[in-house]
């Protein structure tokens, strides 16, 4: 699967309807974003079960503000509607593949139990 553009109108449905969603916050004027784009696109073609979304921070300023994006590129990973990773900066192919492996291996029952425990506190 190649990357998909995500907007404020499509964001919620994308997160809710897919198990794993990786989001790249970027802008056209951002040099590192342009360098990261081919890496992101290449890795996206290897994982048909993951949605690789792109959010243009210039066009989608409300989403960028909601997630407090301060520098770009910023990568966020959602699994079962939970943000598991959020970090600014580029990753190379192997770092992105390692991140995907770790996200897949994570026991989401434990994650949801921890979230529930924190909500009670």
Catalytic: which of 6, 15, 33, 63?
Answer: 33
**61 part of the active site:** no
Given 30, 39, 91, 111, the catalytic residue = 30
Whether 33 is catalytic is: yes
* Residues making up the chain, counted from first to last: 121
Inter-residue contact 52 to 24 (CB < 8 Å): yes
The angle that helices 93-105 and 31-44 make with each other, rounded to 10 degrees, is 60
Residues designated as active site: 30, 33
């Amino acid at each position: 699967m190649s990357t998909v553009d995500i907007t404020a109108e499509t964001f919620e449905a994308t997160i809710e309807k897919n198990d794993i969603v990786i989001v790249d916050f970027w802008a056209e004027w951002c040099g590192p974003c342009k360098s990261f784009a081919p890496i992101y696109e290449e890795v996206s073609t290897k994982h048909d079960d993951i949605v690789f979304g792109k959010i243009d921070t210039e066009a989608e300023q409300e989403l960028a503000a909601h997630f407090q994006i301060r520098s770009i590129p910023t990568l966020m990973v959602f699994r079962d509607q939970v943000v598991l990773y959020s970090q600014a900066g580029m990753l190379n192919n192997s770092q992105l593949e390692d991140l995907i492996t770790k996200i897949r291996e994570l026991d989401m029952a434990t994650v949801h139990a921890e979230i529930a425990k924190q909500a009670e506190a």
